[in-house]
């Protein structure tokens, strides 16, 4: 029997899960963002403006799904530390379409550019006290716990730009995912493709999914080398473009992260792991422990390859590099998953 790790659903949707608009510090309106992303083959965009959740149901059509979200930020304001201080940015993406209240809200603090003129669009639970922020492990973990309890998928954003090290990241609990590629940060010069960090966290026992996203602010026109749009994305395997079908796929890890390379299928049958994709130059399998495996193309790019993979080395994950130098990578899959249990 064939066990699909990725690719067993009828439909695959291209999604950007980190996006800013002119409601905070982006330059494009939500309508303009939709127009741009639809023109580049996207079906899903999570609108994650800074520190407030403003839903965009008016953007919904049969081919485009806006997800409710926000980017929650905590900064270390150490006056004795010169230059950039470490910080935490996390995306909260609502799992239910009717979840439209801003979580962990403060009525007077943490207000971002242009929000004052949009306050009428913000809703929150006014029975709760203002949520105070401070740069501490305890406060970040409390924010994650509360957001998860309120029905949000929680993504830790751009670890390199945030200047947080692996030791600190290991102390954060209950994250849903981490960005392994942030296109905006990469464009401005940070080395924000971090599969090794992702593996390090997983080997330490963290259950996380890898996200590639834009973090677009659109300060340069699309097509300009400095543009931060349409460069990092996830491909979501879901039964339909309905809101809950897409967010359920996120919860289950039915997606892969990419900055351009295409995976079609990852499956196991009769003890053989098969990877199908487009224009593949390198195909890698990495494990929880022990030796990795790799297939390299010859004159012709690979569209499919198979491995008699190691079945005694814990979890595995698959990544590819295509002939344009673009990557795609899956999450880690446990032995129970690839064994079809």
Task: Quote the pLDDT of residue 82.
Answer: 63
CA angle at 200 for the pair 198 and 203, rounded to the nearest 5°? 110
The segments of the chain whose pLDDT lies below 70 read: 79, 81-83, 112-115
- Give the DSSP letter string of 141-204: HHHHHHHHHTTEEEEE--TTTTT--HHHHTT--S--EEEEEEHHHHHTT---B-HHHHHHHHHT
Task: Quote the pLDDT of residue 10.
Answer: 73
Task: Quote the pLDDT of residue 189.
Answer: 96
Taking the C-alpha atoms of residue 156 and residue 236, their distance in angstroms, rounded to an integer, is 19
Q: Residue 255 belongs to what H/E stretch?
A: strand 255-258
DSSP state of 121: G
Helices (H), 188-323: 195-203, 243-252
Task: Quote the pLDDT of residue 338.
Answer: 93
Task: Quote the pLDDT of residue 111.
Answer: 73
Cα–Cα distances in Å, from 52 out to 79, 103, 336?
A: 27, 8, 39
Task: Quote the pLDDT of residue 261.
Answer: 98
Task: Quote the pLDDT of residue 109.
Answer: 87
Provide the pairing of β-strand 44-47 with 262-269. unpaired
């Amino acid at each position: 029997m064939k066990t699909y790790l990725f690719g067993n659903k009828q439909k695959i949707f291209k999604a950007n899960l980190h996006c800013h608009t002119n409601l905070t510090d982006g330059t494009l309106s939500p309508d303009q963002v939709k127009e741009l992303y639809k023109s580049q083959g996207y079906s899903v965009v999570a609108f994650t403006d800074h520190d407030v959740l403003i839903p965009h149901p008016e953007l919904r059509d049969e081919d485009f799904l806006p997800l409710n979200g926000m980017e929650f930020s905590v900064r270390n304001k150490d006056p004795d530390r010169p230059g950039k201080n470490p910080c935490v940015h996390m995306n909260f993406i609502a799992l239910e379409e009717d979840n439209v209240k801003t979580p962990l809200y403060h009525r007077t603090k943490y207000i971002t550019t242009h929000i004052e003129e949009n306050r009428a669009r913000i809703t929150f639970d006014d029975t709760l006290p203002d949520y105070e922020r401070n740069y501490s492990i305890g406060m970040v973990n409390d924010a994650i716990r509360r957001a998860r309890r309120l029905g949000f998928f929680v993504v830790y954003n751009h670890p390199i730009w945030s200047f947080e090290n692996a030791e600190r990241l290991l102390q954060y609990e209950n994250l849903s995912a981490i960005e392994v590629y942030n296109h905006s940060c990469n464009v401005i010069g940070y080395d924000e493709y971090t599969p090794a960090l992702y593996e390090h966290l997983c080997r330490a026992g963290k259950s996380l999914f890898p996200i590639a996203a834009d973090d677009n602010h659109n300060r340069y026109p699309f097509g300009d080398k400095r543009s931060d749009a349409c460069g990092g994305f996830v491909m979501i395997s879901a039964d339909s473009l309905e809101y809950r079908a897409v967010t359920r796929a996120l919860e289950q890890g039915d997606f892969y992260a990419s900055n351009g390379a295409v995976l079609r299928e990852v499956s196991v049958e009769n003890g053989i792991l098969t990877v199908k994709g487009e224009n593949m130059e390198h195909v890698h399998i990495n494990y929880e422990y022990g030796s990795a495996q790799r297939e390299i193309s010859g004159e012709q790019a690979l569209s499919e390859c198979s491995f008699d993979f190691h079945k005694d080395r814990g979890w595995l994950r698959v990544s590819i590099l295509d002939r344009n130098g673009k990557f795609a990578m899956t999450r880690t899959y446990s032995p129970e998953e690839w064994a079809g249990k």
